[in-house]
Amino acid sequence: MADQKKRALTGLRATGNLHLGNYLGALRPGLELSQSYDCIFFIADLHALTSNRDAAAIFGQTLDQVATWLAMGLDVKKHVLFRQSDVTQVTELMWYLSCVTNLGLLEKAHAYKDAAAQGQDVNHGVFAYPVLMAADILLYEPDLVPVGKDQKQHVEMARDIAGSLNALYGDTLKLPQPMIREEVMLIPGLDGRKMSKSYNNEIPLFCDEKSLRKKLMSLKTDSTPLEEPKELDGSLVGDLYRLFGPADGYTDLKGRLAKGGMGWGHAKEELFEAVNNHVREMRERYVELRKDEAGLKATLAEGAEKARALSNPTLTRVRHAMGIR
């Protein structure tokens, strides 16, 4: 990271199999950013613990994510890819930040408020989540933090918390800018709602071809008889085809469906071809990479070393500022 590029940082929780929504909404935009920024990407396994109770699965899901980034072509020599829990500096910083964070600020957090409003059993991790996220960000002094709309409030809180610490102890922490993807790319799932693990409607990014086909064939469509004209606009098949099909493919498929005599089953078949073509090479690389656990662990170890080196100056500055010498 010797040149003058700006630094961008973002994290993705380790919470299960990655799906097409994660890919289009978070991973691919991250990869695109790595063309023009020095990027720090991490697998937020500590954040996953607020809800992921599957102790046996978290590390495997972490490795899945590493293999996915590599299969997509992230250059881990130029950028930093690491696991959150490998840099324990973050939990120390979280404490310092906790001591300058007003309870009132945390009570305003959407994630906590929603969970509490639904009468869920809210743990302290859910309540303190924004402080850990602030520590994630502030420790590495990024210029930009690219996130989806749902995370905007958390990045703003990180700025507020850094501002409180700076007001009390002098200019110690760098305030990051959120980079919000406003054009909410909301990828629909099998039932038409937002694709999400919580809705059980996801299409995995890297399942085998047969399962992918089966998933896509189960997409919700109306029951217009085969011979009748069909409208691709506004249909689930259409929404997904637009994202994965060839550039001129949408108009072509729309025209053929509108003529009648073509069933949704055929359209889904074409959708499967499009999605499968899109992910095939990446999936092949993924499958190979995922087998090499030692290699993935080595990637994480290298990332952790680079991340620790970046984190130490910030932590030392905060300790000194607050009188922990």
Binding positions for ligand ADP, rule: CB under 6 A = 12-13, 15, 21-22, 24-26, 148, 185-187, 194-198
Q: What DSSP assignment string belongs to 147-208?
A: E-GGGHHHHHHHHHHHHHHHHHHSS-SPPPEEEE--S----B-TTSSBP-GGGT---BTT--
**For ligand TRP, what does the binding mask look like between residues 80 and 119, x meaning CB under 6 A?**
----------------------------------------
Closer CB to ligand TRP, 43 or 63, in the complex: 43
The correct pick among 13, 159, 283, 290 for binding ligand TRP (CB under 6 A) is 13
Q: Which does 185 bind (CB under 5 to 8 A by kind): ligand TRP, ligand ADP, none?
A: ligand ADP
17 token code pair? 């199999």
Least distance in angstroms from the C-beta of 225 to ligand TRP: 43
Is the CB of 147 or the CB of 310 nearer to ligand ADP?
A: 147
| Nearer CB in complex with ligand ADP: 21/130 | 21
- Which pair of tokens denotes residue 57? 């699965």
Burial degree of 265 (CB within 10 A; 0-12, 13-18, 19+): exposed
Question: Which ranges of 236-292 does DSSP label H, i.e. alpha helix?
Answer: 236-244, 249-258, 264-291
**For ligand ADP, the closer CB: 195 or 232:** 195
Q: Which amino acid is at 290?
A: R
15 binds, among ligand TRP, ligand ADP, none (CB under 5 to 8 A by kind): ligand ADP
Helices 293-322 + 152-169 axis angle, to 10: 40
Q: Provide the terminal-to-terminal Cα distance of the chain, rounded to the nearest Å.
A: 29
Q: With respect to ligand TRP, which residue has the nearer C-beta, 131 or 203?
A: 131
Q: How far is the CB of 138 from ligand ADP (least distance, A)?
A: 19
Nearer to ligand ADP, 7 or 13 (CB): 13
The option from ligand TRP, ligand ADP, none interacting with 145 (CB < 5 to 8 A, set by class) reads: ligand TRP
By beta-carbon proximity to ligand TRP, the closer residue of 172 and 196 is 196
Q: CA triplet 18, 128, 178: central angle to 5 degrees? A: 60
Q: Tell me the site size for ligand TRP, rule CB under 6 A.
A: 12
145 counts as binding ligand TRP under rule CB under 6 A: yes
**Cβ neighbours of residue 189 under 8 Å, at least 6 residues apart?**
19, 21, 195, 196, 199, 201, 202, 203
**Structure tokens of 126?**
């859910």
Task: Output phi, psi for 232, to 5 deg.
Answer: -75, -35
Could you say which of ligand ADP, ligand TRP, none residue 196 binds, taking C-beta under 5 to 8 angstroms by partner kind? ligand ADP
Using CB under 6 A, pick the residue from 14, 93, 147, 310 that binds ligand TRP: 147
Residues 37 and 28: their CA atoms lie apart, in Å, by 14
Query: Which residues form the interface with ligand TRP (CB under 6 A)?
Result: 10-11, 13, 44, 47, 133, 136-137, 145, 147, 151, 154
